[in-house]
Amino acid sequence: MKNLLILGAKSDIAKAIALEYAGHGYHLILAGREIEELNTFAEELRLKYLISVELKHFDALDFISNNSFVANLTTKPNGVICCVGYLGSQELAENNTEELLNILNTNFIGCVTILSHLANYFEEAKEGFIIGISSVAGERGRKSNYFYGSAKAGFTQFLSGLRARLHSNNIHVLTVKPGFVYTKMTSHLDLPKSLSISPDVLAKKVFKAHKNKKNNVYIKWVWKYIMCIIRLIPEFIFKKLNL
Ligand SMILES: NC(=O)c1ccc[n+]([C@@H]2O[C@H](COP(=O)([O-])OP(=O)(O)OC[C@H]3O[C@@H](n4cnc5c(N)ncnc54)[C@H](OP(=O)(O)O)[C@@H]3O)[C@@H](O)[C@H]2O)c1
């Protein structure tokens, strides 16, 4: 029996991932804030796929109690997918410490804390997988979103180190780097069609990358090349660009 824990389960990407993994026979533990809002969704999954779906309260910013969150899980997960994230406002965060901390703590400290506890749990169990939804924004700091970008950069580096640590225990760590995805997070933005995808396309690619034991995956291939070019631009030119 395969049990998947999804953190930040109310996210549009998380829901698409839940549907994809349910379709492949995974039982689900959906964790998030105000998780009771997913009651109907959970019931639909149970009826359609004949799987068990548990709902658990989880707040990534409760750093200290995240250890007991793992210890108190009644159904033990075989893997976790972390979909927690907060785009926030770059402009606001430049003058507002609360917004700044929310962006950094949600995308970096919160995700790192809970996944560190789960890493220890999987290491002891000698099986498991960890999938983190990071972002192409973490590949280079841009003036338009360097708070979010730097937190995602930290998260990507954390997953890289964790992968190296857990490799010898046969625990697979996958870093997902989406570009633009049509979700609540981006609903206020005018996304370029050719660079954007829907959450269900992303979910299928995550499942495939997981099954193929990939280390890193860019969800739309074009982003791999875009980010390669962006990384190569010399700093003296990069700082003048309106990116
Ligand atoms: N959409 C994109 O273009 C895009 C691109 C690259 C990467 N990503 C990443 O993909 C992931 C999913 O994002 P999304 O696009 O599906 O956006 P979303 O629907 O806004 O999902 C973000 C999720 O994070 C949860 N969250 C925020 N703070 C939390 C906390 N303290 N504790 C627990 N959960 C918390 C939110 O919970 P609530 O529902 O309770 O608010 C929400 O469910 C994020 O990591 C995001 O950074 C998205």
What is the token pair recorded at 191? 């996304």
- Measure 24 CA to ligand 1 centroid, in angstroms: 23
In a domain, 167, yes or no: yes
Does 133 contact ligand 1 (Cβ within 6 A)?
A: yes
CA 133 to CA 111: how far, in whole Å? 10
Range of the domain at 154: 3-238
Q: Could you give the CA distance from residue 208 to residue 204 in angstroms, rounded to a whole number?
A: 6
Q: Which position has the token pair 């841009």? A: 142
Q: Which residues of the chain have pLDDT under 70?
A: none
| pLDDT one-digit tens code per residue, 34-92 | 999 999 999 999 999 999 999 999 999 999 998 899 999 999 999 999 999 999 999 99
The encoded tokens of residue 107 equal 């995308």
Distance 184 CA to ligand 1 centre (A): 8
What's the confidence (pLDDT) of residue 1? 74
First to last CA, the chain: 46
The tokens for 109 are 């400290």
Q: What is the 3-state secondary structure (H, E, C) of 26-81?
A: CEEEEEECCHHHHHHHHHHHHHHHCCCEEEEECCCCCCCCHHHHHHCCCCCCCEEE
CATH number of the CATH domain containing 105: 3.40.50.720
Q: Ligand 1 centroid to 9 CA: how many Å?
A: 9
The closest alpha carbon to 101, from 34, 139, 150, belongs to 150
| In-domain check, residue 243 | no
114 within 8 A of 82, measured Cβ to Cβ: yes
Domain assignment of residue 48, yes or no: yes
Domain tally, the chain: 1
pTM, entire model: 0.97
